[in-house]
């Protein structure tokens, strides 16, 4: 990217009376007035988003050139920032993201340990009489489904769980919730959607935020849409998985990760979402109700081994909920045998 691109693109846009090229002010409908002074207008394209046209008021050619240089610097900085975000996102990170490649950890492991980034030892048990897509790589695992070592900037730990799925498989809301963020990111994330689950929806004493990623296509659900447990909210895919470890074919699967907050309050940045007082939760911790329902990975890890088998409620492909009346379900439907 360079200044030449800006100059090459700009002449292509010549809307009516607005002069795009030579800087000579042209009066027209787009001429704004500030403090009683008429300000000439120049239309420019910003390289960062070629589809978008910005009309920038200028007071003269010299200032305009300065703006071009500043705009270029901002565009370069934004592009660099985006790449850094995508790389830091990794296998579905929280605020600090997961890893991709040879990135240096940004935080001492002790910080991530306090947030609950480690294997809890929980195991999924599905209802009798149905076949469920199970866990290919569990939460906290330092290996991928194929046994290879994870390579990310949070010490190789998996911050969600993976379910291997044929692309196009319907993905279900795990509880009654609200779409709070959706979009498309690059390598290691792809198309994604974030749902928020209030305590009343899960029975847990916390607010949960779940990201579903590698979706087949961008989420059709607008932010603010409410969903019920078992509703189809997206379809699985392999976006963000091609290249790198998984080669050109990618790896079709759902990566789902849960973040915990003390309130519904959160911020978003790119594909990331940050609740206040962020902690991770092994997604299986959602289904361990009751008892206990700590929604805290440290407490889950400390359970006696016999208590670590989690009976996971499910929705079946013929529309039943097992056990009947469960308010949470597995993110993929199970087939009756």
Query: Which stretches of the chain bind Zn ion, using CB under 5 A?
Result: 91, 160, 162, 255
Q: Which residues pair with 125 in a beta bridge?
A: 311
CB of 171 to Zn ion, least distance (A): 14
Q: Which residue is nearest to Zn ion (CB)?
A: 255
Q: Which of 276, 269, 274 is nearest to 81 (CA)?
A: 269
Nearer Cβ to Zn ion (162/296): 162
Q: What is the DSSP letter of 137?
A: B
For the record, the structure tokens of 308 come out as 């670590």
The beta-carbon contacts of 54-62 under 8 Å, at least 24 apart in sequence, are 55/18, 55/30, 57/32, 58/23, 58/25, 61/23
Please check whether residue 150 is in contact with residue 158, taking contact to mean a CB–CB distance below 8 angstroms.
yes
**Nearest to Zn ion of 94, 160 (CB atom):** 160
Nearer of residues 25 and 331 to Zn ion, judged by Cβ: 331
**Which residue, among 199, 225, 201, 197, has the nearest Cα to 327 in the 3D structure?**
201
Closest contact distance (angstroms) between CB of 161 and Zn ion is: 7
Degrees to nearest 5, angle at CA 177 with 174 and 181: 100
DSSP state of 130: E
CB of 92 to Zn ion, least distance (A): 6
What is the smallest separation between the CB atom of 234 and Zn ion, expressed in angstroms? 16
Q: Which is nearer to Zn ion, 40 or 98 (CB)?
A: 98
Identity of the residue, 162 or 176, whose beta carbon is nearer to Zn ion in the bound complex: 162
Tokens (6 digits) for 24: 């000579």
In whole angstroms, give the CA distance from residue 15 to residue 124. Answer: 60
Residue from 188, 179, 122, 197 nearest 154 by CA: 188
Residue 245 C-beta: closest distance to Zn ion, Å: 12
CB of 280 to Zn ion, least distance (A): 13
- Residue 91 or 154 having the CB closest to Zn ion: 91
């Amino acid at each position: 990217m360079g200044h030449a691109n800006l100059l090459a693109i700009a002449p292509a846009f010549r809307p009516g009376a607005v002069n795009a090229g030579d800087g000579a002010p042209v009066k027209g409908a787009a001429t704004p007035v500030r403090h009683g002074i008429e300000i000439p207008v120049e239309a420019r394209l910003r390289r960062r988003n070629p589809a978008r046209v910005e009309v920038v008021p200028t007071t003269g050619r010299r200032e305009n050139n300065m703006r071009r240089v500043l705009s270029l610097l901002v565009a370069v900085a934004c592009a660099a920032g985006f790449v850094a975000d995508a790389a830091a996102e990794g296998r579905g990170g929280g605020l600090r993201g997961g890893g991709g490649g040879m990135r240096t950890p940004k935080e001492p492991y002790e910080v991530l340990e306090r947030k609950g980034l480690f294997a809890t030892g929980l195991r999924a048990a599905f209802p009798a009489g149905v076949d469920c897509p199970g866990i290919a790589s569990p939460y906290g695992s330092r290996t991928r489904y194929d046994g290879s070592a994870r390579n990310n900037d949070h010490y190789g730990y998996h911050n969600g769980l993976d379910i291997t799925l044929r692309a196009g498989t319907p993905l279900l809301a795990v509880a009654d919730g609200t779409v709070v963020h959706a979009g498309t990111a690059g390598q290691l994330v792809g198309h994604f959607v974030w749902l928020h689950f209030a305590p009343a929806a899960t029975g847990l004493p916390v607010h949960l935020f779940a990201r579903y990623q590698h979706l087949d296509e961008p989420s059709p659900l607008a932010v603010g849409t409410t969903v019920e447990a078992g509703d189809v909210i997206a379809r699985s895919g392999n976006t963000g998985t091609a290249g790198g470890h998984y080669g050109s074919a990618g790896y079709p699967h759902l990566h789902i990760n849960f973040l915990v907050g003390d309130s519904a309050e959160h911020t978003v940045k790119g594909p990331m979402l940050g609740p206040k007082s962020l902690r991770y939760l092994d997604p299986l911790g959602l289904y361990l109700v009751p008892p206990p329902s700590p929604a805290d990975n440290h407490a889950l890890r400390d359970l006696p081994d016999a208590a670590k088998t989690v009976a996971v409620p499910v929705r079946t492909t013929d529309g039943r909920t097992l056990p009947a009346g469960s308010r949470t379900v597995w993110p993929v439907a199970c087939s009756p045998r």
